[in-house]
Structure 1
Amino acid sequence: MEFIIRFIKLLYKTAAILLVCLSVGSCTEQYVFQTNSTFESILVVQANITNELKKQEVKITRSYRLEESGPNFEKGAIVHVTDSDNINYEFELEEFSGLYVSKDAFQAIPGKSYQLNITTKDGKSYLSEKQILTPVNEIFVEPKAEIVDGNKGIQIMVSSYDPNAKSKFYRYEYEETYKVISSYSTPIKLIVDPNDLSQTPNFIRVPKNKETRICYGTKKSDDIILSNTVGLSEDRINFPIRFIDITDPIIAERYSIIVRQYVQNLESYTFYKTLKSLSTSTSLLSQVQPGFNYGNLKSTDDPNEKIVGYFEVSSVSSKRIFFNFRDIFITEFFPPFFIDCQPVELSNCWTTPGCAGYTILALVRSTVPEFVYYSDKDNLSTVIFVQSPCGDCTSIASNIKPLFWID
């Protein structure tokens, strides 16, 4: 989740744009935005303790300047969560991810309260409000063929029901994984003959040392997805979380999605709803102007210090589904591949008109080739190349099969 980080950047960018517009009277000229001298290094915290028995995570970063590429992780902090039974759960920095991860696996228990404590390396201390676990509400996920805004596709629906009507507020995340098959992939690649040191070397065919035909792509949701049942006769959710157009190549083979439903309390739902409203404002001069969105964390040293983020204790339920294109659409045409694959034939010679030896050499030696070798013939008088995704799926996805994958 990068919503909170994006919000901070939006806040400073908006202030910079408004200042320039007011000072020059128009925004018709290009301007390279930079953070002014009043930039504040604000602590940004993302923490959600759930009912899953696992090593829980806390993400701590700093707001960053407009000219910087991204946030810096806060290192050297002392992080722990304390429950109402005075049990202390310590967290330690995981260097490769930048996250603070609990030393031991634990889960939030109904009826207990939890509080997040952070002490930064410069000695500043921060404390969250106490939070209790929200009710557990199981979900069901189903793909349906639908037409949305005139476009046919697959609507991923999420449904749940709380007969006790105590859930009401929901936040969702999903992660989708899809199979990619490169139809022009071969188990052979072209290399320069290592025994030929001339300026116009020979090429030879050798076996590839990796899988290039079947890969798996993965994407995570990057939006704040919220729903609630306030004012409804039942605490029942029937929510469209993801629409995939019928022409989208990610459903051409096999597709999987895991949806996570977090049951929130009113305060955490309001925080994320406000954050969503501020971060998706379409106009800088609209009625909704970005402001500071305070969460439930405070400095114990300076009550006026700004800190962004929310410490949440929420129940989570998840569901993963798989489907093939033909499971949903029986007669429709399959979606096209990610790009239009057009094989290119090159003459493997050097001196006569039409020769492409130097082009072939450049493609073979390229570390990140735009085209890859494709042919099932030993004769190399003519060499066939295709765009990289068409012949090597690793250029757009991973050739490592996920552990959860079921064909």
Structure 2
Amino acid sequence: MNRKIIYRVLIVGLVVLGCTERFELKTETFEDRLVIEATITNEVMSQEIKISRTHVLESTEPNYEHGATVKIEDSNQNTYSFTDEGDGLYVSTIPFMAEAGVSYKLFVETLDGRKFESSQEQLVPLATIDNLYAELIDVDGVSGIQVLADTNENLGEAQFFRYEYEETYKIVAPFYTSYDALITNLVVSPSLSYDIELVPRPQEQKICYSTHNSEEILLDNVNGLAASALKKVPIRFIPIEDPILRDRYSILVKQYVQSANAYNFYKILRDLGSDGSIFLDNQPGFIQGNIVSSLYENDNAIGFFDVSSVSSKRIYFNYLDFGIDKPPYFYDCEVILWDYLNTGPEINERYYLYQNLTFDDYIYASVAGYEESVYGLTTPHCGNCTTFSSGKKPEFWED
């Protein structure tokens, strides 16, 4: 769960968690609260928990909690300890998975002696993503690609669902060349003189990959519906002009089956209005989850300890799969041409070529069909995608 947890709180009022109950908010003063995001799943993995503290509206930086003692105990007398990995992230010392019929309880003790514990939670029934696909649709007059998910048939007791996604897209720099143009043998005075040497670039800078995680709260449920499956659950809408569709796009969707209480907790967060974090930047109310202080009645934490079954599926596509026009690049790109030999009175191209390469942050862009003395220059974003993305190809990537 690569999540940013920020709680700038002006708060509050107590919101009591219940599956379908209405809630009321009343204004209180700012309080120093622990913020805990904890979901363990039925995947064998190093489970992760994030812990921070609330901070005032004037602060723009997350207030991560460091040095806490974090553990989970189950009804089989197993204890799973977590280590502080920095930036509020705590990771289990050994991989483990939540198992059906076993109860789990979270314990957190901060460096200043505050102690918290969750209610006992059990793994909910498993439901899988049977189909993940994308369709070209219009939403409010905007054409785009809608990623949709279908669950398996016969959901049984699985009723409440939360979705996360991780999207990765390929970027190909339009004016990439495998050489850099370097100024050599420079003499500035009494007159400008220099040579240009083309040298191989030290790394591949043509193809990059960027990855982003979902931030909005995506929920769905079959509660009260005469249905044995969820169909066409909207996950991600991408306008057709979005550059992420330009070369190749991939999305990994995770479906969490939740308890009614966990679902209601996230639903209240969503309904209060999210600006992109799973926990809100400007939270208008304190929501009582299932994590309380074991020392003081009024020192309860914000957050929910969730034990979920999870299913995931990945797909790939780009604009060609939908017969739409190729989207624009991420930046406006052009190539400026300067003749290395031109020192005429009207414009000294040799001088401006030197200026661009030395002081104006331009890079060499190979352009066919011109004399050898003509050099093309472009901005770094257009010739070297590592200026804003990563040149490392993800292990999962398929071309």
After TM superposition, the score normalised by the length of structure 1 is 0.83
Amino acid in the other structure paired with 2:91: V
In structure 2, the partner of 1:338 is: 330
Is 1:226 paired with 2:219? yes
SS in 2 for 1:260: strand
Is 1:109 paired with 2:106? no
SS in 1 for 2:287: coil
Flag the structure with higher helix content.
Answer: 1
SS in 2 for 1:167: coil
In structure 1, the partner of 2:25 is: none
Question: Take 2:57 and 2:181, find their aligned partners in 1: how far apart are those partners?
Answer: 45
- Structure 1 pair 144–251 and aligned structure 2 pair: CA distance change class (3 A): same
Is 1:12 paired with 2:10? yes
Aligned residues of 1:135 and 1:166 also touching (Cα < 8 A)? yes
Q: Give 1:132 shift.
A: 0.4
Q: Give 1:13 shift.
A: 8.6
Question: Take 1:382 and 1:12, find their aligned partners in 2: how far apart are those partners?
Answer: 61
Given the alignment, which residue of 197, 208, 218 partners 1:204? 197
Question: Take 2:59 and 2:339, find their aligned partners in 1: how far apart are those partners?
Answer: 47
Counterparts of 1:309-348 in structure 2, within 5 Å, are: 309-329=303-323, 332-348=324-340
Aligned residues of 1:347 and 1:354 also touching (Cα < 8 A)? no
Question: Take 1:301 and 1:359, find their aligned partners in 2: how far apart are those partners?
Answer: 71
**C-alpha distance after superposition, 1:313-360 (max 9, x if no partner):** 10110001112332332xx32222223322122454789552366654
In structure 1, the partner of 2:365 is: 374
Question: Take 1:170 and 1:88, find their aligned partners in 2: how far apart are those partners?
Answer: 28
Is 1:395 paired with 2:387? yes
- Structure 1 pair 300–344 and aligned structure 2 pair: CA distance change class (3 A): same
- Structure 1 pair 157–164 and aligned structure 2 pair: CA distance change class (3 A): closer
Structure 2 spans left out of the alignment, 5+ residues: 14-28, 276-282
- Structure 1 pair 13–4 and aligned structure 2 pair: CA distance change class (3 A): farther
Question: Take 1:261 and 1:46, find their aligned partners in 2: how far apart are those partners?
Answer: 17
**C-alpha distance after superposition, 1:49-68 (max 9, x if no partner):** 10010010111111123333
Question: Take 1:136 and 1:362, find their aligned partners in 2: how far apart are those partners?
Answer: 63
In structure 2, the partner of 1:35 is: none
Aligned residues of 2:12 and 2:286 also touching (Cα < 8 A)? no
SS in 2 for 1:272: helix
Q: How many residues align?
A: 370
Q: Give 1:307 shift.
A: 1.6
SS in 1 for 2:10: helix
SS in 1 for 2:292: strand
Aligned residues of 2:116 and 2:300 also touching (Cα < 8 A)? no
In structure 1, the partner of 2:157 is: 166
- Structure 1 pair 403–355 and aligned structure 2 pair: CA distance change class (3 A): same
**C-alpha distance after superposition, 1:237-283 (max 9, x if no partner):** 121111122222211221110000011111011111111122349xx
Counterparts of 1:290-309 in structure 2, within 5 Å, are: 290-309=284-303
SS in 2 for 1:178: strand
SS in 1 for 2:186: coil
**C-alpha distance after superposition, 1:22-57 (max 9, x if no partner):** xxxxxxxxxxxxxxxx64322111110100100101
Amino acid in the other structure paired with 1:76: G
Q: Which has the higher contact order (CA 8 A, sep 6+)?
A: 2
Q: Give 1:370 shift.
A: 5.3
Structure 1 spans left out of the alignment, 5+ residues: 16-37, 282-288
**C-alpha distance after superposition, 1:7-27 (max 9, x if no partner):** x32x42999xxxxxxxxxxxx
Amino acid in the other structure paired with 2:10: Y
320-329 vs 230-239, greater mean Cα deviation: 320-329
Is 1:354 paired with 2:344? no
In structure 1, the partner of 2:74 is: 83
In structure 1, the partner of 2:19 is: none
SS in 2 for 1:327: helix
- Structure 1 pair 381–101 and aligned structure 2 pair: CA distance change class (3 A): same
SS in 2 for 1:196: strand
Question: Once superposed, what is the RMSD of the aligned Cα atoms?
Answer: 2.7
Question: Take 2:372 and 2:106, find their aligned partners in 1: how far apart are those partners?
Answer: 66
- Structure 1 pair 371–119 and aligned structure 2 pair: CA distance change class (3 A): same
Amino acid in the other structure paired with 1:12: L
In structure 2, the partner of 1:133 is: 123
